[in-house]
């Protein structure tokens, strides 16, 4: 007997709200300080390239930080109530205000002070290297009042600050890892960088939108330098002469890590590592949809239009993120904790099941040789752990080769070279199962469909393999029309998929012998009858017909105690799963109770039955074959 020990995955407890909040804002203020330095450096460079009178004036830095009104409140009283000059405030007024004024919450020194304050709040979780780097950064910031009035010394100081700020972020990423502190800090940095990209576009919009400006290319290059994107822009073959190139690049180009699309994808990836409900996932997906809609027309590509629209959605994402760790908490073991655990169906312990699957092939004449492949070893999943597995073949095979198929399923190929009139394959497995639950929330199904078409992150790329129709689960207009009742506009994906599973269970009769493994799903749909494999194929085909990712799952089913033998409660079983961003794959059973839980054992998954047939092979000779299958699933009493 072969026993496979799987790694134990530690489930972290949520951090205290004030610690989580401090880590998130530490990431945001680090990115804000770094972005401010880059913007000021880029504007200085532009002043050398533009002739006198063609520059935008220093108010562009005020527009960037949204502090024009605050600046006027500061400086109009100093001018005796007079209006600021038509030419706008000068360098000697704007730069001290944007870089040094601690009463300005968007000033560079204000951001660096916030970095130090949040680092102190989260000091217990920050490595010494991060604390030391933050201390050095703050000490460097104290030189600002002395060096800012002198342009040459100012530029050198900004260069040193950029190096120090970047060092803090790099050290934090290297030392915090991908557990909660690192994830929260990373979320803050990614969202702030996305917001900065929109603010830079909005601030430079007047120059970018002037069609007859002979210096337009210089302004576009300045935007790229401010976002540290110029090198990637040029390597990608983009051209500054194209007025739409810069907005499209900084908003959508996934090859540029600072683009809004890339940063939203980073947030989605980081959210998957959090131990509490990811309510911000839907907001992030909605932000991606708004982003695509905002750049879908030539008019909307104007930076003054698209940047504020995307920033508004990013503000909503920020609100959802900050609510994640502000949920009310109760001490372990209290009634409130138990109530929430019941509501979320948190398991009190795993259920252990034993599965025996025996297949006997009998041949009318001796077979000289046979080659067989099996998918009989249960998979490891977040809710399933393989405790033991043993495969026995009689007669003993000459060769046995364990493999992984293209979908990550365990596959064993074995060959029997001696003459035989029978072949018996027995798989014995023991698994531990946890209940699964429908996600508390999910994005609208149209948003998920859009994400599957555009996103390039690993989880979505893997799910995209299950969008096109396959031979046994093809997409079709007929099935799209049947599924449409469950998929009205704006409905959350998990609700729509659950409704589809319930409708199939109600509309189709379970009738053993009415179909075979080769019966097309269209015939099943027309006849309104079939078995569990047919219903799984039907659900998968319906979801693919709506442009969603769905896979066929092969496994076993444990009958409830006292349940009479019922044809719809087969021990050898099949169901389907739909991809829900942020929550993973949601397994649903259209033959029995829809929600797959700790009485379903997962063997393998693929596009349809052909990918995961429990046994298939070739026989040389043997004549007519007869197959007998015996499956037993039982609860193990520990």
Q: With helix as H, strand as E and coil as C, how does 296-328 read?
A: CCCCCCCHHHHHHHHHHHHHHHHHHHHHHCCCC
Any idea which of 14-18, 26-30, 116-120, 482-486 has the lowest mean pLDDT?
A: 14-18
* pLDDT band at residue 75 using 50, 70 and 90 as cut-offs: low
Contact 229, 248 (CB under 8 A): no
pLDDT over threshold 60, residue 543: yes
* pLDDT band at residue 483 using 50, 70 and 90 as cut-offs: very high
Contact 323, 329 (CB under 8 A): no
How far apart CA 122 and CA 102 sit, in angstroms, is: 22
Mean pLDDT to the nearest integer, 409-432:
94
Angle between helices 216-226 and 245-252 (to 10 degrees): 10
Is the bond preceding 395 in cis, omega lying within 30 degrees of 0?
Answer: yes
Mean pLDDT to the nearest integer, 283-311:
70
Question: What is 472-485 written as a DSSP string?
Answer: SS---HHHHHHHHT
* pLDDT given for residue 332 in this prediction: 31
Q: Tell me the per-residue pLDDT of 577-595, one tens digit each, with 9 for 90 and over.
A: 999 887 789 999 999 878 8
More confident residue, 50 or 420: 420
Q: Tell me the per-residue pLDDT of 90-101, one tens digit each, with 9 for 90 and over.
A: 788 888 888 888
pLDDT over threshold 70, residue 212: no
More confident residue, 43 or 341: 43
Strands across the sheet with 600-606, in order? Answer: 584-588, 572-580, 550-557, 600-606
What six digits make up the tokens of 459? 């989880």
Supply the pTM of this predicted model.
Answer: 0.54
pLDDT over threshold 60, residue 80: no
How far apart CA 291 and CA 248 sit, in angstroms, is: 11
* pLDDT given for residue 435 in this prediction: 75
* pLDDT given for residue 338 in this prediction: 32
Q: To which H or E segment does residue 461 belong?
A: helix 458-464
* pLDDT given for residue 416 in this prediction: 93
- 597-617 as b/e: b if 16+ CB within 10 A: bbbbbbbbbbbbbebbbbbeb
* pLDDT band at residue 358 using 50, 70 and 90 as cut-offs: very high
Residue whose tokens read 């020990």? 5
Any idea which of 55-59, 330-334, 525-529 has the lowest mean pLDDT?
A: 330-334
Q: How many CA atoms does the CB half-sphere of 312 hold within 13 Å? A: 10
- 236-253 as b/e: b if 16+ CB within 10 A: eebebeebebbbebbbbb
Contact 13, 275 (CB under 8 A): yes
How far apart CA 262 and CA 243 sit, in angstroms, is: 22
How far apart CA 76 and CA 85 sit, in angstroms, is: 10
Q: Tell me the per-residue pLDDT of 146-203, one tens digit each, with 9 for 90 and over.
A: 888 888 888 899 899 999 988 888 888 888 877 778 888 888 999 899 989 888 888 8
Torsion sign over Cα 244, 249, 250, 252 = positive
How far apart CA 247 and CA 302 sit, in angstroms, is: 8
* pLDDT given for residue 324 in this prediction: 66
How far apart CA 265 and CA 259 sit, in angstroms, is: 10
* pLDDT band at residue 567 using 50, 70 and 90 as cut-offs: very low
How far apart CA 126 and CA 130 sit, in angstroms, is: 6
How far apart CA 267 and CA 503 sit, in angstroms, is: 35
| Residues forming a β-bridge with 416 | 370
Residue in 286, 216, 297, 294 with CA at minimum distance from that of residue 250: 294
Any idea which of 276-290, 327-341, 417-431 has the lowest mean pLDDT?
A: 327-341
How far apart CA 210 and CA 215 sit, in angstroms, is: 10
* pLDDT band at residue 425 using 50, 70 and 90 as cut-offs: very high
Alpha helices in 100-179 (DSSP H): 108-121, 128-141, 144-147, 151-176
Say what percent of the chain tops pLDDT 70: 83
* pLDDT given for residue 610 in this prediction: 93
pLDDT over threshold 80, residue 78: no
How far apart CA 252 and CA 232 sit, in angstroms, is: 13
What are the CB-based long-range contacts (under 8 Å, 24+) for 556-563? 556/355, 556/357, 556/600, 556/601, 556/603, 556/631, 556/633, 557/592, 557/599, 557/600, 557/601, 557/633, 558/353, 558/599, 558/600, 558/601, 558/633, 558/634, 558/635, 559/633, 560/599
pLDDT over threshold 80, residue 326: no
What mean pLDDT value characterizes the chain?
Answer: 81
Q: Please, is 509 exposed, middle or buried when counting C-beta atoms within 10 Å of its C-beta (0-12, 13-18, 19+)?
A: exposed
The 3-state secondary structure of 190-254, one letter per residue = HHHHHHHHHHHHHHCHHHHCCCCCCCHHHHHHHHHHHCCCHHHHHHCCCCCCCCCHHHHHHHHCC
* pLDDT given for residue 465 in this prediction: 93
* pLDDT given for residue 524 in this prediction: 94
DSSP character for 187? H
pLDDT over threshold 80, residue 462: yes
DSSP β-ladder status, 584-588 and 615-621: unpaired
Residue in 370, 369, 373 with CA at minimum distance from that of residue 413: 373
* pLDDT band at residue 542 using 50, 70 and 90 as cut-offs: very high
- First-last CA distance in the chain: 19
How far apart CA 613 and CA 425 sit, in angstroms, is: 14
Q: Tell me the per-residue pLDDT of 229-287, one tens digit each, with 9 for 90 and over.
A: 888 888 888 887 777 788 888 888 888 888 888 888 888 888 777 665 556 676 777 67
Mean pLDDT to the nearest integer, 553-559:
91
Residue in 265, 263, 137, 246 with CA at minimum distance from that of residue 201: 246
More confident residue, 235 or 293: 235
DSSP β-ladder status, 529-530 and 509-510: parallel
* pLDDT band at residue 348 using 50, 70 and 90 as cut-offs: very low
| Residues forming a β-bridge with 361 | 423, 627
Any idea which of 288-302, 439-453, 464-478, 482-496 has the lowest mean pLDDT?
A: 288-302
What are the CB-based long-range contacts (under 8 Å, 24+) for 45-51? 45/222, 45/225, 46/218, 46/219, 46/221, 46/222, 49/215, 49/218, 49/221, 50/215, 50/218, 51/215
How far apart CA 129 and CA 173 sit, in angstroms, is: 11
């Amino acid at each position: 007997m072969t026993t496979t020990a799987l790694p134990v995955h530690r489930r972290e407890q949520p951090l205290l709200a004030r610690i989580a909040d401090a880590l998130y804002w530490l990431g945001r203020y680090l990115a804000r300080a770094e972005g401010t330095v880059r913007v000021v450096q880029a504007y200085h460079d532009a002043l050398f390239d533009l002739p006198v009178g063609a520059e935008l004036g220093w108010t562009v830095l005020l527009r960037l930080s949204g502090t024009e009104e605050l600046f006027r409140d500061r400086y109009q009283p100093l001018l005796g109530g007079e209006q600021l000059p038509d030419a706008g405030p000068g360098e000697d007024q704007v730069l001290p205000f944007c870089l040094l004024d601690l009463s300005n919450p968007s000033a560079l020194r204000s951001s660096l002070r916030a970095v130090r304050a949040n680092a102190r709040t989260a000091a217990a979780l920050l490595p010494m290297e991060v604390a030391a780097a933050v201390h050095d950064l703050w000490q460097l910031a104290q030189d600002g009042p002395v060096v800012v009035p002198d342009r040459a010394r100012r530029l050198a100081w900004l260069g040193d600050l950029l190096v120090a700020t970047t060092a803090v972020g790099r050290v934090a990423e290297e030392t915090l890892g991908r557990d909660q502190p690192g994830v929260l800090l990373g979320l803050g940095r990614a969202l702030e960088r996305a917001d900065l990209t929109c603010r830079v576009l909005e601030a430079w919009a007047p120059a970018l939108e002037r069609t007859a400006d002979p210096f337009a290319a210089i302004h576009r290059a300045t935007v790229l330098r401010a976002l540290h994107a110029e090198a990637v822009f040029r390597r990608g073959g983009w051209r500054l002469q194209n007025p739409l190139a810069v907005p499209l690049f900084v908003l959508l180009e996934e090859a540029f890590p600072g683009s809004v699309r890339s940063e939203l994808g980073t947030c989605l990836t980081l959210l998957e590592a959090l131990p509490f409900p990811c309510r911000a996932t839907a907001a992030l997906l909605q932000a991606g949809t708004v982003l695509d809609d905002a750049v879908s027309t030539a008019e909307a590509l104007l930076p003054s239009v698209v940047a504020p629209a995307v920033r508004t959605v990013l503000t909503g994402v920020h609100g959802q993120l900050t609510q994640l760790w502000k949920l009310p908490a109760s001490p372990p073991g209290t009634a409130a904790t138990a109530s929430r655990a019941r509501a979320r169906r948190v398991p009190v312990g795993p259920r252990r099941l034993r599965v025996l699957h025996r297949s006997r092939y009998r041949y009318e004449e001796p077979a000289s040789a046979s080659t067989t492949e099996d998918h009989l070893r249960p998979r490891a999943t977040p809710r399933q752990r393989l405790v033991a597995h043993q495969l026995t073949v009689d007669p003993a095979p000459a060769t046995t080769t364990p493999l992984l198929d293209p979908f990550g399923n365990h596959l064993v190929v074995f060959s029997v070279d001696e003459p035989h009139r029978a072949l018996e394959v027995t798989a014995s497995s023991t698994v531990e199962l946890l209940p699964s639950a429908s996600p508390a929330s999910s994005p609208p199904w149209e948003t998920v469909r859009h994400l599957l078409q555009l996103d390039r992150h690993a989880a979505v790329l893997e799910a995209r393999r299950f969008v096109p129709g396959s031979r046994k689960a093809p997409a079709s207009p007929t099935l799209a029309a049947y599924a449409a009742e469950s998929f009205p506009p704006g409905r959350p994906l998990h609700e729509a998929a659950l409704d589809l599973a319930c409708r199939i269970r109600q509309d189709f009769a379970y009738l053993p012998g009415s179909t075979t493994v080769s019966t097309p799903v269209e015939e099943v749909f027309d006849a309104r009858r079939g078995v569990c494999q047919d219903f799984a194929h039907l659900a998968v085909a319906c979801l693919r017909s709506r442009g969603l990712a769905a896979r066929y799952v092969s496994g076993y089913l444990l009958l409830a105690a006292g349940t009479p033998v019922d044809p719809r409660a087969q021990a050898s079983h099949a169901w389907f799963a739909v991809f829900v961003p942020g929550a993973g794959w949601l397994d649903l059973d259209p033959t029995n109770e829809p929600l797959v839980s700790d009485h379903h054992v997962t063997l393998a998954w693929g596009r349809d039955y052909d990918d995961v047939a429990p046994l298939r092979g070739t026989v040389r000779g043997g004549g007519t074959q007869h197959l007998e299958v015996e499956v037993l699933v039982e609860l193990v009493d520990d």
